[in-house]
Structure 1
Amino acid sequence: MISFGFYLGFLLIFVVFAVYAERKTAAFIQNRLGPMEVGPKGILQTIADLLKMLQKEDIRANAVDIVPFLIAPFIVFAAVFTGYSVLPLNGELSGSSISSGIFFLLAIVSLDVLGILMAGWASNNKYSLYGAMRAVAQIVSYEVPLGLSVLCVIILTGTLNLQTVSLQQFGNGMLSWNILQYPVLIIPFIIFFISGLAESNRTPFDLPESESELIGGYHTEYSGFRWGIFMLSEYGMMLLLSILGAILFFGGWNSPFSNILDGPIWGTFWLLIKALLLIFVQIWIRWTFPRLRVDQLMSLSWKYLTPIAIIMLFVCSLWKLWIIS
């Protein structure tokens, strides 16, 4: 499928530039220089790091369980990347137009916990296992408020098809976007964004990879290309959830201007620009806030985000009934 191939190519290019952008953003926020030696303004530093990583030896400890150890990174990447298959790029290119696209995306992406758990267990390393258990507990916990926030959009739009959600936001520019059509979705979007940070293991929710006590978490024993697959999956999850957030709340591929700069090419442009802006906010948060403790992380999910999401689900249901009546 064309959109699937597009996303694969874009993801590979995106990761190269996203790492550079994150380093430069971090340097600006923390008053540091960042990469500056390799290429103009250090722009080739990430490419040099990529070439170095590909040349590294694929080291495996003697005691690892070899089969799950080798395939775990690819299971994580496959679970994340398969979610791209249902994302609409523009009004004419919609990926797999299944009627339950949102459900499929959330279901298939949740399978990445299997690869993470396999990586931690097969490494035969207590730090890797602790990191894997943290990651699984975190991802499973935050899938609940994430799913409830998405369900709020489903109730108001009345569809599970992502292309239909995008089409419903066409017409009056920004005024047609779900978050402005239904102001009640502001809180569900905040919950969606926070849960997305946790799903991507991004700071302040990067406990599975906390180097101070877990070395590198579930990928401690990985090196070279296989370690790179985990990093590619992390950035892939960032991009996936950012595109999904743009579709559900901010008009998808629709132009922010009424009947201006519309069309397939512009549609793809607007979708990616919205997603990249959300990614910039994720990078900004990473280099601004400290890491949460484990108890704080779980309390935020189960004591605050989940109850608030349930209340907002009830509020959105009442809003929908009021619109119908």
Structure 2
Amino acid sequence: MYLLFIEQGMNILNKKGHLCFINPIRFFNADYGFGCRKLLAENYTLKYVLDISQLPVFQNAMTYPCILLVQKIKGSEIVYQKLQNLSEIEDVQCVKKIFTNYADILSDPDFKFIVDVTQELRSLIKKINSHSENISSLFDIARGLPNTKVDFAGNKYRAVKSTNVRKYFIEGELKTINTDFADIFSQEMIIMPRTVEYLQSMIKEKDIVCLDRIYYLIPTQKVNLKFVLGILNSRLTNFWFEFYYKTTKVQGNYFDLNGNQIGSIPLPNTSAEQQKPIIDLVDKILAAKKADSTADTAEMEREIDEKVYALYGLTAEEIAVVKGKTDCAL
């Protein structure tokens, strides 16, 4: 609803006027904000963003707000500041500023307003994107069965719920159910829980049904699932995903994934020979977790991370940036 107010405000904005709103920041990257972002990027200038998304601005409401300043005259850059506490508002000029070239917004086909990153970080993301193809080019992405299509009193099929899905393994007991839609899940497939602090995925065995709040990936072309699994669970992929979608997080600092977000995740362009070392490591991790779900596979996961960096040709300095941005999350 708040986007309607922003759009109407822009429609009535005088050529020399300014529009200032406090509203949720999530539309910067969320699917539902595309139309408003396109209108704003192509016909107006987002001159200034004050990010107060992590502060208790509104009592008992998690709205992730920001303050926007929009003008009708075309500008060349966006100024971004983020407050770490409310007292900083008294001397906001001392808060660090980040400048974003408007051309970077216009060059994005989705007009995502990623305005809180340095040019160094933006260049690194462009490097990743230029050596990749999207998940959606190799997989169909769908969501598990809603409760209305499941008989939880049945015992014909095994079913996995989102809280079972961990990085490389299933935790806990599976449910038993009846459903008329089990054929959908007759093959192995990569699955991802919908609500996560960071991306985590695993390969589901044949004939295990996926319940609601799980996304599953069905290959549309010949692809090695274990290679894709290693990429999805890597530090670099989480770094990339945080870059694009951090403003879409919900209460508790969780991602609430959707199919479009998953489909946009990059996979490096590689040969079968380049994929093999990662596949071998994933095989070892899966075997270790199958034997003991508490097995420590951290060293093998770090090896995968290093091999993913190499696939993209990252420098030591670029790897340091990735590690610095993801150390708290992983």
TM range (shorter): under 0.3
User: Which structure ranks higher in relative contact order (CA pairs < 8 Å, sequence separation ≥ 6)?
Assistant: 1
TM-score by length of structure 1 reads: 0.26
Query: Higher strand fraction: Structure 1 or Structure 2?
Result: 2
Q: Which of 1 and 2 has greater Rg?
A: 2
Query: Higher helix fraction: Structure 1 or Structure 2?
Result: 1
TM-score by length of structure 2 reads: 0.26
